[in-house]
Structure 1
């Protein structure tokens, strides 16, 4: 059977640049220009003092000019190292909970950015219960959807591309959601211990069935889960309690009522993206998922005790310790990577298949795509500013010329109604022992190039990156002390 259908490609991911000289951003350029003016004025009085001032200015500018392959400056690396040393000297890298820990009432609360989080349960307009994660520090409320993704096996390419188009429409629609600040998609692969299969077989088995049939089912129950993996997909949307910057925050009851009215519309749109039947997750199921993420060995016990409710206060680890390059939490050891560069060229819809698929060297793997949509007004302003900045940096290089074309295309697509969304990706690999960490790191290093992405290990912030990769709606930029305007201008 022949067809004239041509599979589309995807690309033109743009990271807005700050106007500046060479590798310097706006802040670095202003420091350089101001320093040159001061050195010139000093040199007019004393040539020797002017030379000393020029050397000092060069030493100040050096950390802003030196960059690694991920685009991080030496100043950022030094700041991260100093912050890590300071936090370690204060004991912030250690966490102990329970009766002998530091938490109140002997509970096992979540550590780090999730320490003050709360979990409430409400009902949407269809009467379905849903969990709502509350982050008091930022005033964010997050609802989580469980999806039964259809998968691409034995599916026509036209249907897959239709799903991708609907997914783009769903992301674009988030820019019109009042109060929405972020969204995420978490794809987690873990070993399947076969508990759900056994429960399903036991519940539907006929006691009068022939002995041969019962023996065959018993053999399937024991052998089928061996070497198999469980893949779960969760989508989160995060709303702000303040309807606009500077406004008064709304209370929990008002936020639960407002979010509950929007859930049916969000889930119905998700079903057209290939996510399958999307439904809001309950508080008990979300607490169990978080508990297993921090303590993988607790999964069999939690699945065997389905009738016992899991409290949010007991979803955290008993003990956790953050190291410079990895994170130890109860029975697991994890490494988290962050996206430092999106694919430069055009890619096909299957580019991420290998990265999100199970891997035999990684016990549990979590790939989380984080999105922060711009509203239409901000999107128009950003693309126009990016067009001007790329032309300011144009110096005849081929890469700069491509950047100008890409910025023009982004502005044209935004003018035609396309959405503008900031995105990044976190990849967490969890293993059982320290000896398995090098194998997991090598596996991720092997999976990243086929996905056309560049990943950077989150040195010095493994605990925060691990928490952000969970489907709990943590918006990392809102937890940083350095303002976003300063960070983007470096």
Structure 2
């Protein structure tokens, strides 16, 4: 059973955050000072109205966001739409002919391929705006069929150990686990059978192999799982600015990463450049999936990182239109309440024929050991302060928070890691898809998984790109500061 997660929050007066409490005190002092200086009730009334307009939106929250944060995001989106920044056109007749770069936050990214000392080739994605380097690993989840509970527990413990190991050095920004449901074309099976079947094999054996390839797929939806590890620039001086040096440092760490994942029941293989190209291209352009899978490694002869973006996209307030498809993204608003079993996300992750293109990305943002110690102590102090200032039902919730943060503090002292986590859910379908039906299905799946979700209003394109699991970490690109 798993639980005891808490949303980080500084404690102030009457359940408010510390920043809002200090602002409230400052506004009250300003009102009193205005009266003492002017002795005018009209000026005091004006100051009170202005203070209320500034202060109340900071106190009233919705889905974890203050009124000011919601208003700021809305204004930023309106300005971007007025400037035409939410519409993207590329291709032969665009302003930069011949290029179809990835839009938005991925526009300044680069893809390259390197080789480890052991001869294993891997693709590396460099997001230059944040100076992050990412490696994508294909994993094959074992599933739980015919597996003892003790083995499942060992795998989950191994995965927790993997996350804790990545956080110790402070080099890893985030680990993103993606479970991608895509429409099954069976072209990969056919290509694999063609590679395995010998020309001199018996006709019956050939027929069995080809029939097996044709039958694979079942409901027509397959599952692709991958884990992306995003690193900060490693080293100092010229090493930080040298991409091959960064690739060498990351390559040295890859073998340890693969060993940790193997102990967690997740045999992993680094994706090569052609696989990352095909993955990204087929998610933006659904019609290209069959051609990409048919091309296989030869895709690099016709495609590059600067030509795999959408030909056109239009970011709307509550959905994202790209190359004849429509995508909707949700973010986790609240973790499951209470304790849950390891199968809590099963309903959300299971392939469904009515939602054939569904992508669930869990983002783990890791703290180093030094950061974790400071944070758990700070959270514990804030929880105690909140318990002392709150009354009634809020006081009961505050007592629970004290218990949770105290347990986290003890576990961290024994060597456990500290991780922030969130989730993005993206569903993609054709333009004429039943959007209300898709939304109802997603909410039914998340309710069964005891998750609270909200639609990613005003940043659908960014959420779509982040859920791909190619190294885009949204909190590193925020444009609205949070008063905590």
TM range, smaller chain: over 0.9
CA-based RMSD: 2.0
1:365 maps to 358
Deviations 1:109-138 (A, max 9, x none): 111001111101111121111101011111
- Deviates most, 369-378 or 427-436: 427-436
In 2, Cα distance between equivalents of 1:158 and 1:72:
40
1:18 maps to 10
1:285 maps to 275
Aligned in 2, Cα 1:33/1:248: closer, same or farther, shift over 3 Å? farther
2:305 maps to 312
Deviation of the 1:212 alpha carbon? 6.3
2:64 maps to 71
1:266 maps to 257
Aligned in 2, Cα 1:67/1:195: closer, same or farther, shift over 3 Å? same
Deviations 1:230-275 (A, max 9, x none): 111111111112648x998331011011111110110111111121
* Equivalent residue for 2:342, pick from 342, 349, 354: 349
2:153 maps to 161
Deviation of the 1:208 alpha carbon? 6.7
2:288 maps to 298
Give the TM-score normalised by the residue count of structure 2.
0.93
Aligned in 2, Cα 1:214/1:281: closer, same or farther, shift over 3 Å? closer
In 2, Cα distance between equivalents of 1:94 and 1:270:
40
The answer as to whether partners of 1:361 and 1:439 remain within 8 angstroms in 2 is no
Give the TM-score normalised by the residue count of structure 1.
0.92
In 2, Cα distance between equivalents of 1:207 and 1:472:
39
1:382 maps to 375
1:4 maps to none
Aligned in 2, Cα 1:142/1:459: closer, same or farther, shift over 3 Å? same
Aligned in 2, Cα 1:209/1:145: closer, same or farther, shift over 3 Å? closer
The answer as to whether partners of 1:14 and 1:406 remain within 8 angstroms in 2 is yes
The answer as to whether partners of 1:149 and 1:233 remain within 8 angstroms in 2 is yes
- Residue 42 of structure 2 aligns to a residue whose secondary structure is helix
Deviations 1:412-471 (A, max 9, x none): 111111111111111111112243222221111000112111111000000001111112
2:424 maps to 426
Deviations 1:198-229 (A, max 9, x none): 22333444667776666565555445446232
* Equivalent residue for 2:110, pick from 109, 112, 118: 118
Any residues of structure 2 matched to 1:222-261 within 5 Å, and which? 222-225=214-217, 227-241=219-233, 243=235, 249-261=240-252
- Residue 188 of structure 2 aligns to a residue whose secondary structure is helix
- Residue 425 of structure 1 aligns to a residue whose secondary structure is strand
In 1, Cα distance between equivalents of 2:31 and 2:170:
50
In 2, Cα distance between equivalents of 1:214 and 1:174:
46
The answer as to whether partners of 2:221 and 2:352 remain within 8 angstroms in 1 is no
> Which consecutive residues of structure 1, in runs of 5 or more, have no partner in the other structure?
1-8
Deviations 1:50-81 (A, max 9, x none): 2332222122212112222x122211111111
Aligned in 2, Cα 1:168/1:305: closer, same or farther, shift over 3 Å? same
In 2, Cα distance between equivalents of 1:101 and 1:332:
20
The answer as to whether partners of 2:376 and 2:408 remain within 8 angstroms in 1 is yes
* Equivalent residue for 2:49, pick from 27, 47, 55: 55
In 2, Cα distance between equivalents of 1:213 and 1:461:
52
> Which consecutive residues of structure 2, in runs of 5 or more, have no partner in the other structure?
none
- Residue 41 of structure 1 aligns to a residue whose secondary structure is helix
The answer as to whether partners of 2:239 and 2:246 remain within 8 angstroms in 1 is no
In 2, Cα distance between equivalents of 1:36 and 1:171:
46
2:446 maps to 448
In 2, Cα distance between equivalents of 1:248 and 1:126:
22
* Equivalent residue for 1:99, pick from 89, 92, 99: 92
Any residues of structure 2 matched to 1:131-280 within 5 Å, and which? 131-205=123-197, 218-225=210-217, 227-241=219-233, 243=235, 249-276=240-267, 278-280=268-270
Aligned in 2, Cα 1:171/1:258: closer, same or farther, shift over 3 Å? same
The answer as to whether partners of 2:90 and 2:97 remain within 8 angstroms in 1 is no
2:323 maps to 330
Aligned in 2, Cα 1:337/1:243: closer, same or farther, shift over 3 Å? farther
In 2, Cα distance between equivalents of 1:95 and 1:60:
36
In 2, Cα distance between equivalents of 1:163 and 1:170:
10
In 2, Cα distance between equivalents of 1:255 and 1:218:
44
Matched residue pairs, number? 474
In 1, Cα distance between equivalents of 2:130 and 2:155:
33
Aligned in 2, Cα 1:162/1:223: closer, same or farther, shift over 3 Å? closer
